[in-house]
Structure 1
């Protein structure tokens, strides 16, 4: 749920382009899925030959795990930034979901959904490390939402008896739905309408001012 960093020219020392290579490998896995992605495709995408790829990231599975780690961390940070600041709760939630939709519907490209959910959910059936990363990634997003709901509760935006943890899981459920339905081909406008309805439900515990 973040904007892409500007592309840097290849040929720099590995320490300077590791993140770029991970992002390029991520995009390749994102399009083809883990199992169908070949080492030749990863080599072409990153501009690194096989020995360089192995030297930098290990085998294909290790590279994939590294792309998951980076995706989770970058997007957790993006969520935290989007939920920070002085935006009222509904606008803060809208900002997060709009960023997600921008990621799932890239300009001039087919809708691609969420990298984590779209690829790791398949591989987690037979790979415990992928399952662990999938679970932890989802929990990270829950925690980001929960922190914002707790702040909203302290600020009087939602009632004192609301359950921030449960509201966070419901907000995450909307995010998961966007990820899956965008990959399935739902129109962006349809999903944004779903977001609007979901935010109304999430904020239904908002405190009304006296006389309103």
Structure 2
């Protein structure tokens, strides 16, 4: 996902662009994880000296937290908010899966999703929990609307939400790494979701 301006700019030290620093550091953390990233590597990536990283940014841990926070902010706004505030049911859920596929298929960043890969590595913290909760809200909101708009069975809502969440988390974890094709994975999931509509709703949606 292309990084937007960080909301963590309060108390910005002078002499450099904090959003640029966060973007550069995010690329390193995304590719390697926090534990495997050294301060020397962060110095090279951000063009900041060790002293500034520690005194102004809270060291590696502080910089990592800024990176994950900015990433999750961007994901909530661009990836998940349209599903949470949408006006369709199944179509909004399909669109969410499509946006995830577009993000994962991008070559502008390392494979997968920064937040979920951090979760898998065990260094995501509360910001990753916020991401997962927002993802869950997005899926649940679309399926609730689909009960009224697409005649989906409300009794299947919880199991379907869990299925979509698990599928998306798996996609976000592997991305395009290891020979995985995000669009192929997303296409299968989208086709499954479309067929949750009863036949009468499918016919009327065409």
If the length of structure 1 is used for normalisation, what is the TM-score? 0.74
C-alpha deviation, 1:196, in angstroms: 2.2
Partner of 1:114: 113
Distance in 1 (CA, whole Å) between partners of 2:94 and 2:2 is 16
The 5 Å alignment of 1:18-167 reads 18-83=18-83, 84-85=85-86, 89-90=90-91, 92-107=92-107, 112-124=111-123, 130-154=124-148, 156-167=149-160
Q: Which runs of 5 or more residues in structure 2 are unaligned?
A: 6-11
CA contact (8 A) 1:158 1:203 kept: no
Q: Which runs of 5 or more residues in structure 1 are unaligned?
A: 7-12, 125-129
CA contact (8 A) 2:33 2:118 kept: yes
Distance in 1 (CA, whole Å) between partners of 2:142 and 2:185 is 21
Distance in 1 (CA, whole Å) between partners of 2:34 and 2:104 is 18
Q: In the TM superposition, what whole-angstrom CA distance separates every residue of 1:2-52 from its partner, at most 9, and x where no partner exists?
A: 44449xxxxxx6478323322221111112221221112212222222222
More displaced, 178-187 or 133-142?
Answer: 178-187
Distance in 1 (CA, whole Å) between partners of 2:173 and 2:88 is 28
**Distance change >3 Å, CA 172–CA 55, structure 1 → 2:** same
If the length of structure 2 is used for normalisation, what is the TM-score? 0.75
Partner of 2:186: 195
CA contact (8 A) 2:4 2:70 kept: no
**Distance change >3 Å, CA 210–CA 144, structure 1 → 2:** closer
Alignment length, in residue pairs? 195
**Aligned-pair Cα RMSD in Å:** 3.1
Distance in 2 (CA, whole Å) between partners of 1:21 and 1:94 is 34
C-alpha deviation, 1:195, in angstroms: 1.8
- SS of structure 2 residue aligned to 1:209: helix
C-alpha deviation, 1:208, in angstroms: 4.1
